[in-house]
Amino acid sequence: MLQTAEKHNVTATDLAFQRCINPQCGATYETHSVRTSCDRCGDLLDIAYDWDRAGVPDSLSYFEQMWSQRTNPVRFSGVWRFHELLPFASQNELVTVGEGQTLLQQANEVAKYVGLNEGQLHLQYEGMNPSGSFKDNGMCAAVTHAKMMNAKRAACASTGNTSASLALYCSATQAMKAVIFIGSGKISYGKLSQALDYGALTIQIAGDFDDAMIRVRQVAQELGIYLVNSVNPFRLEGQKTVMYRVLEALRWEVPDWIVVPGGNLGNSSAFGKAFHELKQHGLIDRIPRLAVINAGGADTLYELVERRGVRWNGGNVNMEPIVSYNDHMDREGIRADTIASAIEINRPVNLKKCLRALEWMDGVVRQTDDQEILDAKAKIGAGGFGCEPASAASVAGARLLRREGVIAPSDKVVCILTGHELKDPTATVAYHTTDQELFNKTLGSRGVTKASHANRAVAVPNDLDDIIKAIQLYS
């Protein structure tokens, strides 16, 4: 390791460094450099630490003292109160806008729907973040690093939430200018409105997310703009803390399952790293299982893992099925298509890291169609705080795994609700509407045929008696 380290200019005094995820390569790079892949082999990078010198708390309950330090913005942050577990920057460099004040809620009505025993389903509401999605957990870490690098501009391609988050951090901190790339016609108004309102330079390209992702990498390279997509390894460090907060809310008890929607696979990758490290530190004695849920219309991970048997395999990933599936998508012109726009991605950039997380967490992958996603979403709304369509894939997926018997009724299950209810009101209103035209236009085109859990508005004449009758009839 040291030999490699010297070659790549990591000094022995660095507590943190970047490291290629490919164990056959293992190249390391200093924290104070901007890269999204390994110079030597092109693989993804991790942030790694010299834990012996950084020092790790003896027990997770160490972090409880942070609750009494909430007047310090850094310790108020649901990300940076776990700074000791992602120590790549010093305390005075950390950027925060108060992210991570999220909630783990026991949801018994939703548990019934999923088929779990009472008390066994927990929903982790990441929609409560400042920009309304879990992306803020990673963005505060990425922007912290961007600032360390004196970046003047930061860019991302986005299905909506990454751009909303970046735009918010840039406007709230005035640290740099946000440049966001979106596909045309794909982004929900809730998300687009945030980017516009927060003053981000918004580049709408004729194409979808996968196209925008390719372009933003080229532009970032060309103009030296700091890239904050989840190929950014610092961002994923921040996203580890979603798992720390889940454990915190469960009084440091490890659940049986973590269920998360899969898009670009940053979350699942970060969750795997979080638990792998906690286990290595001896801070937990077992690792929960992971279920990553694709939308049926964007199911590359499912196809590769469950149908074509692709595995991390200790870092020896068999690339042949991946390359041939990508070629197949190119040849057939297959494009991601789902109402769950946040996971409408067919070429997940963190694929390999996710494969590694699946190995570390004994994970499974499933896909659910838009009908199941929207039905689950209506159940989540009626039994809790609600979420956007992509988030509901986690509950739909848990229900499927319960039916298959992979998840037992007595298992303790945590579903991650990744984004806020109000991110995509069009999808919600279209599901509950009595306007058949709106339903068909928004959902029917995606194979959604019925809204079994719809809560329809009741139309009444403007007449007191009729209004009273309607309330008595329907409640």
Residue 418 near which of ligand PLP, Zn ion, none (CB within 5-8 Å, type-dependent):
ligand PLP
Q: Supply the minimum distance, in Å, between the C-beta of residue 3 and ligand PLP.
A: 34
Of 144 and 230, nearer to ligand PLP (C-beta) is 230
Q: Which is nearer to ligand PLP, 22 or 391 (CB)?
A: 391
Give Rg (Cα) of the chain. Answer: 22
Q: Which helix (H) or strand (E) holds 138?
A: helix 135-148
Binding residues for Zn ion restricted to 25-54, rule: CB under 5 A? 25, 27, 38, 40-41, 43
Q: Applying CB under 6 A, which residues contact ligand PLP? A: 133, 135, 161, 230, 261-267, 342-343, 388, 390-391, 418-419
Binding at 40: pick from Zn ion, ligand PLP, none (beta carbon under 5-8 Å per type): Zn ion
What is the four-CA torsion angle of 80, 85, 86, 90, rounded to 10 degrees? 70
Strands (E), 151-263: 153-158, 177-183, 201-205, 226-227, 257-261
Q: Which CB, 135 or 289, lies closer to ligand PLP? A: 135
Closest to Zn ion by CB, 313 or 434: 313
**Binding of Zn ion at residue 112 (CB under 5 A)?**
no
Measured distance CA(175)–CA(154) in Å, rounded: 10
Rounded-to-integer distance, Cα 249 and Cα 103, Å: 8
64, 70, 74, 79 alpha-carbon torsion, rounded to 10° = 50
Neighbours of 108 (CB within 10 A): 15
- Residue entry with tokens 């809620």: 105
Judged by beta carbon distances under 5 to 8 A according to partner kind, the member of Zn ion, ligand PLP, none in contact with residue 41 is Zn ion
**Residue 299 touches which of Zn ion, ligand PLP, none (CB < 5 to 8 A by kind)?**
none
Q: Which does 415 bind (CB under 5 to 8 A by kind): ligand PLP, Zn ion, none?
A: none
Answer for the pair 229, 142: CB distance below 8 angstroms, yes or no.
Answer: no
Helix 351-360 vs helix 266-280: crossing angle, to nearest 10:
40
- Residue 254 touches which member of ligand PLP, Zn ion, none, C-beta under 5-8 Å by kind: none
Examine residue 223 and tell whether it contacts Zn ion (CB under 5 A): no
Burial of residue 144, with CB atoms counted within 10 A of its CB: 0-12 exposed, 13-18 middle, 19 or more buried: buried
- CB closer to ligand PLP out of 122 and 135: 135
Note whether 10 binds Zn ion by CB under 5 A: no
Q: Which is nearer to Zn ion, 231 or 378 (CB)?
A: 231
Contact residues for Zn ion, defined by CB under 5 A: 20, 22, 25, 27, 38, 40-41, 43
